Amino acid sequence: MVKVREIIYPFYDERIETELKEYGITEVFSFGNVQLGKYKIIGKGKTGTVVYIGGGKVVKIRRADSPKESLKIEGRIQELAYPVAPKVHYYGNNFIVMDYIDGRHLEHNEKVEVIVKLLEAAKILEDKKIEHGELVRPYKNVLVSDRVYVIDYDDATIKENPKNVTSILSWLKRVDLARKYSKGVPFDQIVKELLEAFS
Ligand SMILES: Nc1ncnc2c1ncn2[C@@H]1O[C@H](COP(=O)(O)OP(=O)(O)O)[C@@H](O)[C@H]1O
Ligand SMILES: [Mg+2]
C-alpha cells in the first residue's frame, strides 16, 4: 500500500490530501500499467490520475495543476451516465470514486460488435441529454471488456440535442451516415446501414 499523498500529482497539494482523507482514502494500491514515479497506477490523463483503492474500485484524483477547481460537475454527469459510464460511488472537489473496469482501450479496426455497442452507448448518452464532448477521438475515452464503457466526463455537458452518435460516425469516416442521423434517420436504420458495409 502507498500513502495517498505520494500519488498526488504533479506536486503535493494539501487540500487534495485533506479531502481524500475525509472520505477515508488514506492508502492506495501500487497497481496498474502506468508508472507514476516509483508507483504503478491505473491511468493518467490531462486532469486526473486514476488509482486502484481495492474492492473493485478506483479513485480519479484531480491533478494539482488542473485548471478546473472541482470534479463535482464531472462526478455528477458521470453518475447520470451510468450504466454507460463506470458506476460512481461518491465524489468531491478533488476526486471521483468509481468502479474499476478491467478492460482495454478502443483500437483501430475494432470488430463490428464493439462498434455497434459503442454506438448504442453513444445513443444512450444522447437519451440522457449528455454530450460527452470527446468522442470524435474516442480511443482513450472508451474501455472495452465484456461491455463497452465510455469514460472521462471531464468535457461533458448537459444539453437538449447532444451529439455523440455523429461523433462516433465521423470517427468511423461515415460522414454520410452522420449527416443522415442529424437529419432524423432513426438510430436503428443507421446501425443497419453500417452493418451492411461490414458484411
Ligand atoms: N473506471 C476506470 N477503470 C479502469 N481504468 C480507468 C477508469 N477510469 C479511468 N481509467 C484509466 O485512466 C485514464 C485516465 O482517466 P481519465 O478519466 O481519462 O482522466 P483525464 O480526465 O485526466 O483524461 C483513462 O484513459 C483510463 O486508461
Ligand atoms: Mg482522459
- pLDDT tens, residue by residue, 106-145: 999 999 999 999 999 999 999 999 999 999 999 999 999 9
* Statement: residue 182 has pLDDT above 90: yes
Q: CATH code at 43?
A: 3.30.200.20
Please give the average per-residue pLDDT across 178-195, as a whole number.
98
Q: What is the pLDDT of residue 198?
A: 83
Looking up cell 488509482 gives 51
Q: Does ligand 1 come within 6 angstroms of the Cβ of 46?
A: yes
Percent pLDDT > 70 in the chain is: 100
Q: Are 109 and 129 in contact (CB under 8 A)?
A: no
Question: In this structure, which residue's CA is closest to atom 23 in ligand 1?
Answer: 45
Q: Does ligand 1 come within 6 angstroms of the Cβ of 57?
A: no
Q: Which atom of ligand 1 is found nearest the CA of 50? A: 12
Distance of CA 43 from the midpoint of ligand 1 (Å): 5
| Geometric angle at alpha carbon 172, from 188 and 108, rounded to 5° | 125
- pLDDT tens, residue by residue, 37-79: 999 999 999 999 999 999 999 999 999 999 999 999 999 999 9
The structure's pTM equals: 0.97
Cell numbers that stand for 5 in this block: 499523498
Q: Which domain holds residue 22?
A: 2-99
Nearest bound ligand to the CA of residue 140: 1
Are residue 136 and residue 93 in the same domain, yes or no? Answer: no
How many structural domains comprise the chain?
Answer: 2
Are residue 90 and residue 113 in the same domain, yes or no? Answer: no
Q: What is the pLDDT of residue 199?
A: 77
DSSP β-ladder status, 2-3 and 142-144:
unpaired
Nearest bound ligand to the CA of residue 87: 1
